[in-house]
A = this chain, B = another copy of it.
Amino acid sequence: MIDYNSKQVTGSMKRITIRDVSERAGVSTAAVSYVLNGREGKVSADTVAKVRKAAEELNYIPDFSARSLANNKSKLIGVVIPQTEDRKQLLLQNPFYSELICGIEARLRQSGYHMILSGVEKGEGYLDTSMQRNLDGAIITGIYQESFYEDLKKVRMPIVLIDSYIYDSHFDSVGIDDELGGYMATKHFIENGHANIALVTGLIRKDGVVEKRFLGYKRALKESGLFYNPDYVFEHSVTYEYGQEAARHIASNHPEITAIFATSDLMAMGAMQGIRDEGKEVPTNISVIGFDDISVARMCTPPLTTIKQDAIAKGIMAAERLLAAIEHADPSVPAVPKEPMAMPLALVERQSVRRQTF
C-alpha cells in the first residue's frame, strides 16, 4: 500500500509537479501534459498507462495558476450580482438571486469551472478583475451604467447577461419575456373583474426588466380599453418595505383600487402586509399579484398568486451558454450571433386574487 499523501501533505514538503510525475513515469513533461489533458492521440498507449499510474501514485494535483499563465485558460468564471445601495453588500437577500447563483454554480462545477462571485463598487469597472484573474468568461446579472458595459466589451472573453435588454453582439443574453409577464398579470386581474389596478415597482430604468413589465401592464390595460392612470404607478425600490409603504398609501387613499400588481414577490409580500396594516384584507378588499415565484411566495398568508419564472433554470441556462461559447474556441468556425434566450413563464394561481363581482 502506498501512502499517497505523505509527500504532498507533510508541512515542509514540496508540491508534486508535472516534472515529478514525468520522472516517475520515465517520460518527458510534455508527454505527461498531453496525457493529463486528454490529448492521448499524441502518445503511445504504453506512455499513457505509465503516466496515469505515476500521477495516481504521487497524487498529482495540477496548479491552475501555472496553467493559466501558460495557456490563458483559468477555468474561472466571474459572476456579478447587484449590491445594496447603502451598504456594500450583495443583493443576495433577494431569494431570486440566490436561486440564480445556485443554478450557475452547479452547472459550472459540473464542467470543472469555479465561480468567483462578487459585487461591483458603484462606478467601478470589472475589467481589472477579469484581467487579473484571466477569467474565461463572465455572467452579469442586474443592470449597470453604460460605461460598465463599454468596459466589458473591451475584454476578450464571452459574457452572458442575465435579465438585461442590452442587445449587443458582444454579449449573449438570457432572460424572460418580461413584457409578457407584466401583461399576463394585469390581464389576469382584468379577467377577474378588476379595473383599477395599481403597479408597485422598483425603479423603471431603461433596458431593465421592470420597464418591460411596466409596458406589459400598459398593453393589457389598453387592450381592454381601460384607462392608464400614471397616479396608479408606485415606483421606488425593490424591497419589502417599499411594497408595504405603497400598499398602505393605496389602502388609505385610493378606495377605488382593488388590485396591486407588484413587479417582484418581495414587494408583493410587503404590499400584503401594508394592506393589512390599514385594516383591510387580501384578497377580500385588495388583490395582489407578484413576480418571480420565490419559494416564500407559497409560504406566505395568503399564498401569493404570481408570475413564475424558474431562477435556477435561468442560472443553469446562462452557465450552459457561457460554457458553450468558451469551449467553442475554434477560430476557423465563423461566428453566428445568437438570439437572446427567453425562458418560460407561467401564471401561478394561489389565493391572493379575488374575483370581483358587481
Contacts and interface: CB of A to CB of B under 8 A. Distances in A.
Interface of A: 1-6, 8-11, 13, 15, 61-66, 68-69, 74, 76, 87-90, 92-93, 95, 98-99, 101-103, 105-106, 109-110, 114-119, 127-129, 131-134, 154-158, 169-172, 240, 269-270, 273, 276, 295-296, 299-301, 312, 324-325, 328-329, 331, 334-338
Contacts of A74: 65
B115 A116 contact: yes
Contacts of A269: 296, 299
A2 B93 contact: no
A158 B99 contact: no
Nearest to A335: B3
6 contacts: A1-B325, A5-B331, A15-B131, A61-B132, A88-B109, A105-B117
Contacts of A64: 65, 132-134
A131 B14 CA distance: 11
B114 A115 contact: no
A138 B178 CA distance: 39
B61 A69 contact: no
A3 B61 CA distance: 33
Nearest to A171: B2
A134 B63 contact: yes
A301 B301 contact: yes
Given A69-B65, A87-B106, A89-B105, A158 B325 contact: no
A118 B128 contact: no
Given A2-B335, A114-B118, A156-B9, A132 B93 contact: no
Given A61-B128, A63-B69, A89-B102, 4 more contacts: A2-B169, A4-B157, A9-B154, A65-B133
A160 to B, nearest CB: 10
Contacts of A295: 93, 240
A4 B93 contact: no
A346 B5 CA distance: 38
Contacts of A240: 295, 299
A65 B62 contact: no
A2 B105 contact: no
A65 B75 CA distance: 12
Contacts of A87: 106
Contacts of A129: 114
B62 A336 contact: no
B69 A66 contact: yes
Contacts of A155: 9, 13
